[in-house]
Amino acid sequence: MVTPGLLLKASLNAGKEFFRSPAIEGEPPAYRAPVMVPIRSIGPSHSERIERHLLALDSHDRYLRFGYAASDEQVRRYSASLNYERDEIFGIYNRRLELIAMAHLALSVDPTLTSCAEFGVSVLPQARGRGYGARLFERAVIHARNEGVSMMFIHALSENTAMLNIARKAGAVIERDGSESEAYLKLPPADLDSRMTEMVEEQIAQTDYRLKVQARQFWGILAMVQEVRRGVRDSRDRMPM
């Protein structure tokens, strides 16, 4: 659970890709206190980035994410079918505004199972090993609780050990049926802490994203100015003495 102190520290350093608190005195140099990753809720205006992210997955990654080696056309259909009004999409962006990890929390469409939701996640190869899948899962759990969801499901291939380990560590019950597994996680009801945590985390993530956009614009302008300067200098050097 994110503490108020960590949230304050994160908000004061929102321009960084990650929010890190200082190393604890007396600990080995490699030790760092928990990291808060800015995770924002994303809507249809980011649909192209979502599609680009999913298309960047290779056939094996698509097999683990969707349960089959989805073709480019099938990935595009999935991306186009996302229901941003009913479901929730969460994303992690790097400093180049590339969507490097995303999660889909799909609320049940069955009127008799409105308190259920399914979770799916994907992380690009270059961003793995940083705990992004687990962080996205934690973010989705908070949102699900606040939306009145009492049971979260994860349908995954049994060989998708990374996803199943995330669910197992969260306390989910996992049932294996041959090559496929189902994880069930019972969620506690929403409380003041869950609502405040989601509100502050979303605000931090939005601030982080805006700063990344501004930084990208700044470097773009700087590159253009440098190009103009090079052009002027080259023209001057070619002038006859």
| Structure confidence by residue, pLDDT tens digits, 174-187 | 999 888 999 999 99
| Structure confidence by residue, pLDDT tens digits, 148-172 | 999 999 999 999 999 999 999 999 9
Q: What's CA 34's distance to the chain center, in Å? A: 17
- What is the C-alpha to C-alpha distance for residues 93 and 120, in angstroms, rounded to an integer? 17
- What is the C-alpha to C-alpha distance for residues 7 and 197, in angstroms, rounded to an integer? 9
According to DSSP, the residues that pair with 165 across neighbouring strands are none
Show the DSSP H helices in the chain as ranges.
Answer: 4-12, 47-55, 59-66, 72-81, 132-146, 161-169, 192-238
By DSSP bridging, strand 116-123 and strand 151-157 are: parallel
Instruction: Kindly report the pTM of this predicted structure.
Output: 0.74
Domains and CATH numbers, the chain: 4-231 (3.40.630.30)
* Cα dist from 174 to 157, 169, 179, whole Å: 12, 11, 13
pLDDT tens for the chain, 241 residues long, are 444 444 444 444 433 433 333 333 344 444 444 457 899 999 999 999 999 999 999 999 999 999 999 999 999 999 999 999 999 999 999 988 999 999 999 998 776 777 899 999 999 999 999 999 999 999 999 999 999 999 999 999 999 999 999 999 999 999 998 889 999 999 999 999 999 999 999 989 888 888 888 877 766 676 676 766 666 566 665 666 5
Positive or negative torsion for Cα 222, 228, 233, 237: positive
